[in-house]
A and B are shown apart, each in its own frame.
Chain A
Amino acid sequence: MKTFLFGKKPTADELIEVESQGLSRSKEIWMRLMRDKSSMISLGVIVILVLVAIFANLLINKSLVTEQNVAERIQGPSAKHWFGTDLYGRDIFARVVYGSRISLSIGIFTVIISTTIGGLLGAVAAYYGGVTDSIIMRITDVFLAIPEQLLAMTVVAALGATPLSVIAALSVAVIPNRTRLVRSAVLGIVDSQYVEAARAVGMKSQGIILKEIIPNTLGPIIVVSTQGIASIILTVSSLSYLGVGIQPPTPEWGSIIFEAREFLRIAPYMILLPGLVIVLTALAFNLVGDGLRDALDPRLKD
């Protein structure tokens, strides 16, 4: 059996061969994903972004992020300053590279926290039903009644505008959404035979939720989470731009644009280049999400 991990694109025949051999489901999904060009390119973009964020200090000297150089202020893109320089003569490319640490980690951590908490709440609500379900869902309804972005803003306002409180605020805003999603996914399988069988052999409720129910709802959760990273990165940058998120001089992508907003007409590169990075990142996560959805359920693909 050939392995296709990171290898060449599998052909349709090879896929059928693999499917007929009854490979594990995750491998099968990975194969289907590999056949989708835009997902693979996007995945490449994400890997590069994450590597750049992790190894930013090896690529670019950290002092460039804050180093002001009045002699070189407001210069367009050049070989020395790839994205040009800002009002204070700081290198915008360096700021964007270091900003990726903040933007990406807020996106990823928020998704992990909100999906874990929201997922558990949703699974518990759907599994136990009755009063537990009512209590969880009524509280969720209250949170859902406030538009996500507004809720995040008010929490940031209360907790202060540090990256940690932004993660907390966004998690609070996103959890209800995930609770509802997972609850409806679990409701669909809670009466299925394998859950009944697990109960019949005497498995405990926690075990059934963690080992039987959650693994079987992972598909839609993974898709929503992947695209959730994109939407959170966009929300974070919007919060910073509105002046209620990460504050300058911290180089979050939105706050880099916030600082440059007065220069839209004179020096649009200051806004367009960091903006392009935001768009590419969000696009990559969205496309991988689309690809995953098709790979998980090929019937949905048109």
Chain B
Amino acid sequence: MKTLPKLAINRLRERRPLDAAAVDRFLARHEVPIVEGARCTFLYRGEADEVFLIHRIFGLPDHLPLRRLRGTDLWYAVLELPEGSRVEYQLEVAFADGRRERINDPLNPRLAHSPVGSSSVCYAHGHEIPDWTVDDPEARPGSLVDMVVPSRALRRDCPVTLYLPARFRRADPGTRYPLLIVHDGGDYLRYAAAKTVLDNLIHRLDVAELVAAFVYPGDRLTEYANSAAHARFLTAELLPRLEAELPLAGTPSGRCLMGSSFGAVASLSAAYRHPGVYGSLLLESGSFVFTDIGHDHGGGPVFEPVVRFVNRFRAAPRRVADRMFVSCGVYEPLIVPNRSMVPVFEAAGMTVRYVEARDGHSWENWRDRLRDGLSWIFPGPQKYIYE
């Protein structure tokens, strides 16, 4: 039987003298977390009573204790992560005076950002950040244009950011662009590099030249939780205005609603309320929480309207679009509802492409699935090009 090489932390444990200078040298030599094959060693250095690794990997205890290396102020925990995994985490440090602090890993400069703050990131062995998610000087940049759509349905002025592809031709009568409407638009632009991704994927011919409308929620947990007003805003106010003002395809196959988490619920709900309008849905880590029996869904009051909607959909599945791209991270609790919804969507007669990733409920996960989703929904002209 092949024996695994000794972990760096275990080699350090055997070192004598094991003093502060040895720990200094150890930390100077390694990136943290230390990734050795499937095993990742998380570290914290400092005086504390207890230290915990806090993560949201579904299936593991969310507080994993770090052990103190005897005679030092170095704490460690080893976690096995499958190939290609990406995990966001923080550390919780308990002090002797009773204080508890939750912090990003001070030894790890890699951070992920989201509307609720930042967290540290561990990239397991085999994980690669897709090159199409970073700025490519060869890719001609599209432009972002802000507009405001007054909404009677939502009783507010709704800001919308339009993405126009690099060679956008407003007056060319032969050109009709597909339209992608993106929920949580500001977050997709800021945390999922949506503009860079669109620029790159269009440049590489993976995705068709398209117009994207990034919409911003008001009261998100109300508007995105199966709200008739939100669906009306999208379909009866935003869509007609965009199709009147821009050279858009104006057909179901040229319209896609996209969102993640509650934004995916909002996409499904709008298509459900207006079947036949949207040909495609791109749903990332949808909050499709439901109950098979009883009322205990574990999501709290904000999920009540979502659960009612998803339960109703599951009881009487309806074909709300032609095609659905559905993705979810295997480390998020929503993996079970998402896996459960795929056969329901298929049974309703929709063509579903379902993708899982070893990732969590995070903007980088949603960013990294965009090529799979967008190239399937609005494929670029690559198959026509033979240079």
**A and B pair up:** no
Interface residues of B (CB under 8 A from A): none
Interface residues of A (CB under 8 A from B): none
